[in-house]
Amino acid sequence: MKIVSIFFAILLVSFNLNSKKIFNAKSHKLENGLTLIVVENPRAPVVAQMIWYDFGSSVEEIGKSGLAHFIEHLMFKGTKKFPKNYYSNFISKIGGSENAFTSYDYTAYYQVFPSQHLEKIIELEADRMQNLTLTKKNVEIEREVILEERFQRIESNPSSQLDESMRSVLYPNNYYGRPIIGWKHEIEKLNYDDVFNFYKNFYKPNNAVLVLSGDVNFSKAKEIVDKYYGNIKSSDTLKRKVVSDPDFKTTTFVELKNENVKQQVWKRIYRTKSFTKSIEESMALDLGMKILAGGSSSVLYEELVDEKKIFSMVGGFYQGLSKGDGYIYFYAIPNKEMDEKEIGDLIDKEVKKNIESKITPEKLELEKQKYYFDSIYGMDGILKPAEIIGEALSVGLKLNEIEKWNNKLKKINIDMVKKELNEFSKNNNYVTGSLRN
């Protein structure tokens, strides 16, 4: 399985500048709360199914980090009706593919397969929502697998260790400060009862959005989904506690030294607004960040790498698809050893200086065109619409907002972008990190 945080919010929201709706998606809600979304695209006899549970590590008890990801692994262990690897073997046999991922705010499972097998795949997914086979032996075995995964992803990767520490400081009162995979010492203590109770409490139809994209008829899909999901009981277990983090009053710095680090790396993570607070403001911020720090054609890269040659790499991005705060991530690799404060002051100065002089209407229009061309590729696919819609709905956006995304994009102008970047330049809710030998 893979742990994913989907970083590029706008890039994932495809749009056609000449249409009123992007996907023309159709929706249906079952009496038990399950939401069905269908995007009909009969160009190829293939369907993508994604089921999005609107929780990830967000619902874990304090002291039991990693449970959501733990269950993601165990969801592939079979049911009484379809034991062990039946589901995965069936997908492989028909030439399909599958995977899953866990984030802070959602957990998702997907399959891509020939459309003639639609009913069977829906049956299999509905079955494991309620009939998963969980044994103490499976839990013990999978715990070791997850600990090894954590070792590979975090413990043996100094950069990931630094990111983990920085997030724990940036979000002192929030699940965004806990690693999705879990803290090592807490994973080691997770047991069968923890896993069983989590599954029984949260894997319910009213916590899920099922998205079907591709060669699928809406009426037929409703009929099949009602048949296999309709009798599954809902639950009111999912009651979120809304928490927020205090504003920072101090400068916060985290340093990690490791003998395997060959090159100094500077990082900074900011807490900021998300799309669920304001789509227009977040869209303007995202566009501005792409112009300012997104890749080798960005303002900061051209100035500090190509021209002044202070850094071998510099950049940043905005991630705003979240139920709570979004964040902005900056990084820089100096060509020669520099003091961390000197790096931060230099980047702050360049950001403030360039907002007025180099964030231009021409560059803004170019970024809008990039989204458009990226969207053409995305809409040609089967899986991408299911990813876009599922993620957006899981964090709290509405289907109509997704369908009309292009209308909001048209309204974004250079003044809006500069306003968001100027607000960002005054943001003191950040943690600075340093990776050194």
Q: What pLDDT does 62 receive?
A: 93
* Whether the predicted pLDDT of 11 surpasses 80: no
Confidence of residue 109 (pLDDT cuts 50, 70, 90): very high
Q: What pLDDT does 133 receive?
A: 95
Q: Give tens-digit pLDDT for 253-312.
A: 999 999 999 999 999 999 999 999 999 999 999 999 999 999 999 999 999 999 999 999
Domain 2-229, CATH: 3.30.830.10
The Cα 268–Cα 26 span in angstroms is: 41
Catalytic residues: 72
Q: What pLDDT does 369 receive?
A: 85
Identical topology for domains 2-229 and 253-387+395-400+411-436: yes
Sorted by where each begins, the domain ranges of the chain are 2-229, 253-387+395-400+411-436
- Range with the lowest mean pLDDT among 10-14, 85-89, 141-145, 214-218? 10-14
Confidence of residue 21 (pLDDT cuts 50, 70, 90): confident
CB count in 10 Å sphere of residue 62: 8
Read out DSSP for 64-126? -TTHHHHHHHHTTSBBSSSBTTHHHHHHHHTT-EEEEEE-SS-EEEEEEEEGGGHHHHHHHHH
Per the CB < 8 A criterion, the answer to whether 53 and 254 are in contact is no
In this prediction, what percent of the chain has a pLDDT beyond 90? 87
* Selection from 327, 366, 352 nearest residue 421 by Cα: 352
Q: Which two tokens stand for residue 347?
A: 């980047």
Q: Give tens-digit pLDDT for 119-175.
A: 999 999 999 999 999 999 999 999 999 999 999 999 999 999 999 999 999 999 999
Q: What pLDDT does 430 receive?
A: 98
The Cα 123–Cα 371 span in angstroms is: 36
Residue with the two structure tokens 């964040």: 327
* Whether the predicted pLDDT of 8 surpasses 70: no
Confidence of residue 7 (pLDDT cuts 50, 70, 90): very low
Confidence of residue 16 (pLDDT cuts 50, 70, 90): very low
Q: Give tens-digit pLDDT for 342-355.
A: 999 999 999 999 99
Mean pLDDT of 315-336: 97
Mean pLDDT of 196-211: 96
Mean pLDDT of 317-332: 97
Q: Give tens-digit pLDDT for 374-422.
A: 666 666 679 999 999 999 999 999 999 999 888 888 899 999 999 999 9
Q: What pLDDT does 3 receive?
A: 44
CB count in 10 Å sphere of residue 156: 11
Check whether domain 253-387+395-400+411-436 has CATH 3.30.830.10, yes or no = yes
Confidence of residue 237 (pLDDT cuts 50, 70, 90): confident
* Whether the predicted pLDDT of 99 surpasses 50: yes
* Whether the predicted pLDDT of 22 surpasses 90: no
Which residues touch 76 (CB under 8 Å, ≥6 apart)? 1, 85, 87, 88, 100
* Whether the predicted pLDDT of 331 surpasses 90: yes
